[in-house]
Amino acid sequence: MNQIFRPSDARGDADFGWLKSKHTFSFGSYFDPNHIGFGALRVINEDRVAPSGGFPTHPHQNMEIVSYVVSGGLEHKDSLGTGSVIRPGDLQRMSAGTGVRHSEYNHSNTDPVHFLQIWIVPEADGLAPSYEQKAFPEGERQDTLRLIGSRDGREGSVVIHQDVDLYASLLSADKSVAFEIEPGRKVWLQIVKGKISVNGQALTAGDGFGLLDAGAINLAAQENAEFLLFDLAA
């Protein structure tokens, strides 16, 4: 099977003191022509923000910005009038569209926040800016692939304005789940915690893995693991 292995320690790096970030794909001052993105999936940044630290108000345009919190609380405010705290198990999607300004801060004065910020290129420019956030409890993600984001919002997932299905899983040690990559599709896996194998390829926290061919894949946990699976148009 045609595949791309992106080990954790090969990612781009940024350290601003209050922010420590790992970039799966080219971002900011980090550029790697071999890792610009994966189809419509443009950014996966693993961010750790110190207590009280955060991103002051800044603009975005024509991008689907998705946040998945691993631990702690991420406080969000935007020019749409939305204010919320994103916590583990939540998925937030902000469609920047014609333009939006927002800020993101660690909600705590004592504990860091650890989250993935994901950018997906939308299916069209000039969409009306919008915001959505939903909670997906541990029980819904345990030992299964829980759909948390999709173009049509089915199964209670967050709407993402692109042909992508985003799944989350909390996989117990010695458990496995199967997934079928349909013709004309490809898959990116991002490991958040723990250790899994995918058709024999060992993956640990921070690793990314792209699969480019149709066919069945088996995801088996060697220890308790958390990961995201992006099913995208090829």
Give tens-digit pLDDT for 182-200.
999 999 999 999 999 998 8
Q: In this predicted structure, what is the pLDDT of residue 193?
A: 98
Who's near 116: CB < 8 A, 6+ residues apart?
A: 44, 45, 46, 47, 67, 68, 70, 190, 192, 228
- Name the token pair of 191: 């490991």
Report pTM: 0.96
Give tens-digit pLDDT for 105-117.
999 999 999 999 9
Nearest-CA neighbor of 158 among 94, 93, 70?
Answer: 93
Q: In this predicted structure, what is the pLDDT of residue 200?
A: 87
Q: In this predicted structure, what is the pLDDT of residue 35?
A: 97
Q: Is the pLDDT of residue 1 over 80?
A: no
Q: In this predicted structure, what is the pLDDT of residue 98?
A: 97
Q: In this predicted structure, what is the pLDDT of residue 75?
A: 96
